[in-house]
Amino acid sequence: MLKPNYVRNRDVLKRHFKACKERLRADVEIPQLPQNTRGKKKTACDRCSLRKRACSSQWPCRTCLKDNRPCTYTAQIASDENDTLAAHDTQRDTSPMADNNRSDAKSGTLTERSMAQESPVPTTPLDARASRNDLFYMPATGGGILDTYLDEPLTDELDLGGSFHYHAEEAPDLLIPDLVYSTFDFPYETQTQNTIKYHFNYMKRFTKFAGLAQSFECGSLQERQLLLQQIRRPNLGCDGRSWDNYLRSVFPLTAEPKISWRTSQTPSVSLSTESQYSLNNRSDDQLSRFQVGESLDLTCKIVAMLKDITISKPRGSKIDISWSSSIEFSCHNFFSPQRLQDNLELFWSCWYPNWPIIHKPSFSTSNASPLLIAAMAVLGACLSPSPSVRANANIWFNSVEELAFLDEVLLDESVTVNDSVSCDDDAVYRRLEAIQAAYLVCLIQYWEGVKSSKRRIRRNRYAVVLDAARDFGLDDLTRHKLPVDDSSTFSWKRFVLLEMLIRTGTYIFLFDGAFVIFHNSPPRLVVAEMRMSIVCPDSCFQASSQEECFVLLHNWTSSEPRQAHMRVVDLVEAMCNNYLSDEETCEGLAGLSMLNLFTAITALHTLGFHYEVSLAPNSGSWHLQMGLNRWISLYDQADSWVAENSPGLLLCDEMWRRLGFIRHAKEFWMLAQLMLDKSQIELNTAGPSGGPFDKTRGTVYDENTMDYVHNLVQSLGDLKIA
């Protein structure tokens, strides 16, 4: 009868040690082999293991945290220490000093759980909110190239009693072999043979294509409910009778409007963005700046535009509703001052962190384009905790889309910008707002619309936005001519305009990159076109006064002069070329904002697409791999910023300052690295008749869904990369 493999291997090893000439010549004792541990290694805590319950393997684990009980890992710590010590004994040096090293190794075998056991901090949390925020994943064993980048907690739904903050989301453990790049003949050597954990938690959620609220960092349902509760405070200056009288004037046959805006039921606050900064700090009488006449005028303008486009219905119109008195009443109600205030607050607090291209401190609803306000309100309504509000928003998707893309201002090629753009040119602001409104419509239809709308946005509407941006000159704007050395010559208004233009162009590029990454669509914007400056730090753009903005901007340009004058194409070129060493490159690019890092990884994805469809695919792999290596080094330096910005701000008037979905840039890097390695493996294992196009995905372009990427990140446990 044959012995099991592990028994035979141990016997062979013992016989080898007994007859080993090198060991006999050195007069060294036979090493002690580690004892084999039978069964599956325990990962659960002591309490879950005893109760035979599922354990999240965190400290404290979720079960113990929920039951408010101590969480210990005594059995696992002992097992870890024995395994570590045994492994050290097996690999120890054969010199006489080996025995001395054993004691040092024994004293150093501490895991994070063992340190947690010895910590004076009680395992039973005193503050449930803080304990939820402090959950962490146990580190993966091994020294893989991705080891330190794969266990970031992600956001999840919060309880109604909690405040506005992010906390960890339990992630399934997907174990895949680490990457071994040396087999691809790259000009560097990487030894990574360990198995590590891959967490694509955000990417799995994003590629479900389930809507804006579920796909981006928009806060949980409970957070959005609490937000609306906080902003609906009594406002002595808001008289509901004005709205009732207005409805009676519009609908004379309506004896009593079904929905009236009454202060006693749903009080409101000012639509002016000035109130966003002090909403929680001022008394009710100071919140009485809401001008009912101005808000009613805005409602009238929006309703008139929608009525006109719905009745006229241009040729090829996608509007599927017919105008009637009931539709008109619904339109007035949806864009009423109260609903506008609610939906705009949802836009600023929940969506704006994901799309910070409008200058909120200087934004005014009374001066902005009604079309832009309508698009912002519809998108905010998509994030509403009320199902009826979200359903009503869906009615106006196609109408607002046609308003945006038939706007003459959007298509006016005579209005262009350059580095010397005047901040007093009203036509520039109007065309910028038209582009932003069209962009918002693309986002709404792409994430919330039906299949035909998604396809129309991806294939047609986005191309119009891109062409308008090119004609406008958004791809070639820099801050080189903006004086930041003297406060007396610094123009805050001009800086705001330039930065909005640069950020709008940057996010159009990110939208194009999303089509490349998730739909395998050929890029319509190439990296070489991105000649605009990289965006300035968020703190400069979020400054609420000229003095504050100048100080922050001056400090940034003085401390990072290279970055202050760097363009997006320069950033990508610095990452992918070997003009400088890795250390010099990372030192010169240290301190990049998360938005600039996200722009860079999107550009690397775009370059990866060109590399994958190239007739000579090996020609670009070295530069792309260098760019990915340098990117993750820069992200590692900026990771602390992500941690600081992750737990959102408690006050609702400060939520707009948070980081949005770009805080998950690391997962986009992981996806780019996996796609590159997958392409290399397929290329190296292709048969004699195989070519660079004989690949899993290369035959399908411009896919209608994100299924390929979704299935890829879901099946990583079965993906063999070695």
Quick one: three-class SS letters along 570-601?
A: HHHHHHHCCCCCHHHHHHHHCCCCHHHHHHHH
Interhelix angle 387-395/325-334, rounded to 10 degrees, is: 120
Q: What is the DSSP letter of 31?
A: P
Residues 427-448 have a mean pLDDT of: 97
Rounded Cα–Cα distance for residues 480 and 567 (Å): 10
How far is it, in rounded angstroms, from Cα 664 to Cα 362?
29
Percent of the chain beyond pLDDT 70?
Answer: 65
CA dihedral 235, 240, 246, 249 (to 10 degrees): -170
Confidence of residue 630 (pLDDT cuts 50, 70, 90): very high
pLDDT at 719: 40
pLDDT given at position 94:
41
- Return the percentage of the chain with pLDDT > 90, whole number: 43
Q: Which two tokens stand for residue 562?
A: 């290279």
Judge whether residue 402 has pLDDT over 70. Answer: yes
Question: What Cα–Cα distance (Å) separates residue 345 from each residue in 224, 235, 454, 544, 584?
Answer: 10, 16, 26, 18, 44
Helix and strand counts by DSSP (H, E) for the chain: 31, 2
Cβ of 549: how many Cβ atoms within 10 Å? 23
662 closest CA partner among 710, 575, 599: 599
Tell which residue, 143, 131, 266, has the closest CA to residue 195.
Answer: 143
Q: Residue 9's pLDDT is what?
A: 65
Taking a C-beta distance cutoff of 8 angstroms, is the pair 642, 656 a contact? no
pLDDT tens readout for residues 614-624: 776 566 688 99
Residue pointed to by tokens 């400090």: 555
Average of per-residue pLDDT across 53-70: 74
688-695 contacts, C-beta under 8 A, 24 or more apart: 692/612, 692/613, 692/614, 692/615, 692/616, 692/617, 693/613, 695/612
Average pLDDT of span 601-621: 83
pLDDT band at 686 (very low <50, low <70, confident <90, very high): low
> Could you report the per-residue pLDDT of 126-183, keeping only the tens digit for each?
333 333 333 333 333 333 333 333 333 323 333 333 333 333 333 333 333 333 332 2
Quick one: pLDDT at residue 68? 67
Task: Tally the C-alpha atoms within 13 A of residue 368's C-alpha that lie toward its C-beta.
Answer: 26
Q: Kindly give the interhelix angle for 397-405 and 387-395, rounded to the nearest 10 degrees.
A: 40
pLDDT of 41 reads 64
pLDDT per residue as tens digits for the range 185-220: 322 233 333 434 457 889 989 998 889 999 999 988
pLDDT for the residue 671: 93
Q: How far apart are CA 153 and CA 144, in angstroms?
A: 19
**Contact yes or no for 58/135 (Cβ under 8 A):** yes
pLDDT of 641 > 70? The answer is: no
Give the integer Cα–Cα distance in Å for 496 and 541. Answer: 7
Which tops the pLDDT comparison, 424 or 572?
A: 572
536 Cβ contact list (under 8 Å, min separation 6):
479, 499, 553, 556, 564, 593
To 10 degrees, what angle do helices 74-91 and 98-107 make? 160
Q: Domain-by-domain residue ranges, the chain? A: 24-33+42-138
Mean pLDDT of the region 468-495: 91
Give 709: exposed, middle or buried? Use CB within 10 Å, 0-12, 13-18, 19+: buried
SS (H, E, C) 280-311: CCCCHHHHCCCCHHHHHHHHHHHHHHHHHHHH
Band (423; pLDDT cuts 50, 70, 90): confident
Q: How confident is the model at residue 295 (pLDDT cuts 50, 70, 90)?
A: confident
Specify the pTM: 0.69
Position 53 scores a pLDDT of: 80
Q: Which is it for the CA torsion 583, 584, 588, 593, positive or negative?
A: negative
For every residue of 502-562, DSSP letters joined together read HHHHHHHHHHHHHHHHHH-PPPSS-GGG--SBPPPPHHHHT-SSHHHHHHHHHHHHHH-HH
86-99 mean pLDDT: 45
pLDDT in tens, 659-684: 999 999 999 999 999 888 888 777 77
Top pLDDT among 277 and 588 is at 588
CA dihedral (610, 612, 617, 621) positive or negative: positive
Mean pLDDT of the chain: 74
